Structure 1
Amino acid sequence: MYVDDVDDLDELHDLLAEAHDRLLANPGNEQAQWDIEDIENRLEQVKTEDVVQATGCEEI
């Protein structure tokens, strides 16, 4: 799933929940596993971007 253009944390959390549901329904679903990884990575990026914007400096 392409999520690099999603900046809304609520939307990312919703997408993550949907991907988890798909994985629970089918534990062998590799696409759901990859989607979860992509979404979790994007969540971290967005959170970091929010910190940088709020403080004006990057986390160390």
Structure 2
Amino acid sequence: MDESEIRGRLEALRIEHRDLDAAIDALLGTSTADQLQVARLKKRKLKLRDEIAMFEDQLIPDIIA
């Protein structure tokens, strides 16, 4: 992947991460929050965070000291 593809993928992942955050907040705001679904969304959110970190690392050049 070239840098522009990585940046595009990063933006898509960040948007999905924000959307999941909003969905989790909405679920927790209801009186009948499904804890299993909340747990699944949180797990997906953590996986996205790992993917975001991986792509961010690819954008940072290796510096040999």
- CA positional deviation for 1:18: 1.1
**Quick check: which one's helix share is greater?**
2
Unaligned runs of 5+ in 2: 1-11
- Aligned pair count reads 51
For residues 31 and 55 of structure 2, the distance between their equivalents in structure 1, rounded to whole angstroms, comes to: 34
Unaligned runs of 5+ in 1: 1-6
Q: Identity of aligned pairs, percent?
A: 14
What is the TM-score normalised by the length of structure 1? 0.56
Question: Which has the higher relative contact order, 1 or 2, with Cα contacts under 8 A spaced 6 or more apart?
Answer: 2
> Contact conserved, 1:22 with 1:29, CA < 8 A, in 2?
yes
- CA positional deviation for 1:51: 2.4
Q: Which of 32, 55, 59 in structure 2 is aligned with 1:50?
A: 55
Structure ID, larger Rg: 2
Which runs of 4 or more aligned residues in structure 1 lie more than 4 Å from their structure 2 counterparts after TM superposition? none
Aligned partner of residue 26 in structure 1, secondary structure: coil
1:16 corresponds in structure 2 to 21
Give the superposed CA RMSD.
2.4
